[in-house]
A = this chain, B = another copy of it.
Amino acid sequence: MNTQAAGGHLHLEEHMQSSKILTDIVIGMSDGLTVPFALAAGLSGAVGPDHINLIWIAGLAEIAAGSIAMGLGGYLAGKTEIDHYNSELKREYDEVERVPDRERDEVKEFFSGLGLSNEVQEKAVEEMTKDKDKWVDFMMKYELGLDKPDPQRAKKSAFNIGFSYVVGGMIPLSPYFFVTDGLSGLKISAVITLVCLFFFGYFKSKLTGVNPLGGAIRVMVIGALAAGCAFVVARLIQL
């Protein structure tokens, strides 16, 4: 709609496709940047200079675990969506066959909810329920609010989220490879990561149509709070 009206359906679908990929990247990257950053920050205050390798062992183990959990989590979510859609589709076809009057009432209810007059409601229901496929399609989309999911989505989504998590996670972790004590690593890691979170938050907010500066600051503050809290928790236990 709006300025894209001329572009039509193809344009809209392309737009939705790329926004789904961006959503996956946003999901993966934001957790990837935040959690390994906070974990490494927490450990940097708890392990001595002799055990700095433990920071990146734990960090890399977390990246491995987190990317698989999120990536496969995304895959499962996609699969579940497809299974759910198919089971509801089957049920709607079944109901249209078994209890057509009740289903017809539900179509009428939809049009009545739109505020149309009784006359137009009746006519719309009559036309809508002529073709069984169209009828079920309508029930799926407007009564249950379910869009037909792309069967390839689950796999793509898993890969995008998992990969983004690894890329995001390596950023806060990398400084610890080059320093001799945890706190020096933390300082460099905090600067790099908070800058990344700021730009990432800015970009993310632009995508979703929210005030970019406010969004950037919010994302950065979450990262800082998570790291600060992990640091305090680790220090408290160690004492």
Contacts and interface: CB of A to CB of B under 8 A. Distances in A.
Given A58-B58, A116-B124, A128-B116, A226 B42 contact: no
A69 B215 contact: no
Contacts of A222: 68-69, 72-73, 76
A226 B75 CA distance: 14
Contacts of A64: 38, 42, 226, 229-230, 232-233
Interface string A179-207: 00000000000000000000000000100
A234 interface: yes
A152 interface: no
Interface in A34-52: 34-35, 37-39, 42-43, 46-47, 51
A218 B76 contact: yes
A225 B72 contact: yes
Contacts of A30: 69, 73
Interface in A214-234: 215, 218-219, 222-223, 225-227, 229-234
A115 interface: yes
B35 A69 contact: yes
A72 B218 CA distance: 9
Assign chain A's interface to a size class.
35 or more
A60 interface: yes
A234 B55 CA distance: 11
Contacts of A88: 209
Nearest to A135: B115
Contacts of A213: none
A83 B127 CA distance: 38
A69 B31 contact: yes
Contact of A229 (B39, B68, B76, B233): B68
Given A47-B54, A64-B233, 17 more contacts: A1-B144, A5-B102, A5-B106, A30-B69, A34-B69, A35-B65, A35-B66, A39-B62, A46-B54, A61-B233, A64-B229, A73-B222, A76-B219, A80-B208, A80-B210, A114-B128, A116-B128
